[in-house]
């Protein structure tokens, strides 16, 4: 049985937040102290490391489920299927439908249920549910969808990655400049007549050595704000995340790719979670070194520079852009071998080898 992506869609918000828009922020260290360097220097260093010069935020009135429904509708139309024939709607996210003003994570009802309602799907046998797996959530959703299809429980699944991380940013934290909003979706179907689809996949969760504390919800770095509110924001131990990813992600990718029984020279593109440009490039270089090769120059599509890190949405939005627009010169052809790979809160890692 083959498991094929038959449609893609993405929703990237219109509001552009440039690096220069952070020049007036009061950045503080973890103890609430001021940095000795100017904001201009902080931003320049941030850009040199992450590659980000702008990111997208959703308008105040738009929630995560709104972005997800748009991306889902486009994927459904692209696949040319009847949405009433969908068996599962799987939505990966981290914050739910958190509103702009509340600061409170909202996962009741599930984002997937809200998306189903927005799409006006009548069929009660179309099961809608959410998964929280950090940034690798969308990739994990595809793996779950594939398992449903393999078991005979489903034939057609809608898998969405969406987040509005702009709603949980601490403006006093330099890392707040990393995060963005967005949504991407795909349709996965069984297609025995197609010579391609999912060839292999791997997933792992690391917690034993405290890895689950690398990305978390925490208090503002502004001590005055802490005394007035218990509100928490997305936080990250950046150096630990970087070291963890460089050590573990290339090995997981190799384990996945080797299981696909393909030649490494045939790998055309790697769609890796857009977390940090230098980190992603280092991961890819280490991955190819495991095969005693140098990374090909055109192997790694990137959109983090203009869209930022939208967590679970980064891979599906980038995949949709490359598939439909040959984004920045990257294109896909039938028969191409590609990989999806991600790392994030948990700490979770996963990868999929896929034949277009």
- 303 backbone dihedrals φ, ψ, rounded to 5°: -130, 10
Each residue of 330-344: pLDDT tens digit? Answer: 999 999 999 999 999
176/313 same-domain check: no
Instruction: Determine contact, residues 12/317, Cβ cutoff 8 Å.
Output: yes
What predicted TM-score, i.e. pTM, was given to this entire model?
Answer: 0.93
55/109 same-domain check: yes
137/9 same-domain check: yes
Each residue of 126-150: pLDDT tens digit? Answer: 999 999 999 999 999 999 999 999 9
- Write down the pLDDT at residue 225: 82
- Write down the pLDDT at residue 347: 94
Q: Is the pLDDT of residue 93 over 90?
A: yes
Each residue of 47-89: pLDDT tens digit? Answer: 999 999 999 999 999 999 999 999 999 999 999 999 999 999 9
Query: Which domain range does residue 27 map to?
Result: 3-194
Residue 109: which CATH number? 3.40.47.10
SS3 157: strand
Residue that is written with structure tokens 């490359």 in the block: 322
State how far the Cα of 57 lies from the Cα of 178, in Å rounded to an integer.
12
Q: Tell me how many domains the chain contains.
A: 2
The CA-atom distances, in angstroms, between 128 and each of 19, 108, 155, 189 are 37, 13, 15, 16
- Write down the pLDDT at residue 227: 65
Q: Is the pLDDT of residue 39 over 70?
A: yes
Instruction: Determine contact, residues 18/54, Cβ cutoff 8 Å.
Output: yes
State how far the Cα of 249 lies from the Cα of 262, in Å rounded to an integer.
19
Most confident of 27-31, 106-110, 236-240, 254-258: 254-258
54/134 same-domain check: yes
- Write down the pLDDT at residue 223: 87
| Element at 71 (helix H, strand E) | helix 64-79
176/243 same-domain check: no
Q: What is the DSSP string of 228-270?
A: H----EEEE-HHHHHHHHHHHHHHHHHHHHHHHT--GGGEEEE
Domain boundary among 167, 194, 221: 194
């Amino acid at each position: 049985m083959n498991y094929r992506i038959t449609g893609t869609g993405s929703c990237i918000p219109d509001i552009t937040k440039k690096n220069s828009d952070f020049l007036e922020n009061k950045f503080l260290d973890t103890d609430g102290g001021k940095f000795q360097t100017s904001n201009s220097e902080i931003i320049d260093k941030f850009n040199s490391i992450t590659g980000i010069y702008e990111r997208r935020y959703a308008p105040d009135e738009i929630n995560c489920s709104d972005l997800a429904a748009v991306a889902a509708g486009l994927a459904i139309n692209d696949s040319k299927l009847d949405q009433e024939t969908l068996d599962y709607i799987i939505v990966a996210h981290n914050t739910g439908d958190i509103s702009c003003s509340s600061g409170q994570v909202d996962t009741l009802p599930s984002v997937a249920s809200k998306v189903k309602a927005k799409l006006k799907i009548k069929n009660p046998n179309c099961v809608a549910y959410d998964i929280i797996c950090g940034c690798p959530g969308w990739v994990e959703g595809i793996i779950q969808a594939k398992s449903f299809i393999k078991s005979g429980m489903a034939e057609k699944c809608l898998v969405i990655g969406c987040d509005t991380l702009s709603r949980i940013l601490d403006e006093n934290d330099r890392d707040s400049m990393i995060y963005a909003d967005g949504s991407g979706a795909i349709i996965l179907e069984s297609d025995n007549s197609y010579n391609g689809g999912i060839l292999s996949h791997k997933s792992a969760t690391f917690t034993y050595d405290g890895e689950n504390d690398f990305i978390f919800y925490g208090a503002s770095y502004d001590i005055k704000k802490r005394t007035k509110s218990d509100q928490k924001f997305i936080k990250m131990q950046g150096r630990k995340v970087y070291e963890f990813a460089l050590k573990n992600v290339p090995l997981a990718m190799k384990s996945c790719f080797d299981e696909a029984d393909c030649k490494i020279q045939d790998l055309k593109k790697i769609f890796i979670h857009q977390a940090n440009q230098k980190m992603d490039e280092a991961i890819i270089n280490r991955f190819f070194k495991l095969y005693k090769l140098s990374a090909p120059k055109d192997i790694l599509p990137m959109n983090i520079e203009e869209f930022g890190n939208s967590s679970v949405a980064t891979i599906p939005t980038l995949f949709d852009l490359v598939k439909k627009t040959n984004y920045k010169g990257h294109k896909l052809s039938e028969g191409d071998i590609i990989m999806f790979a991600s790392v994030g809160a948990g700490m979770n890692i996963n990868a999929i080898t896929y034949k277009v």
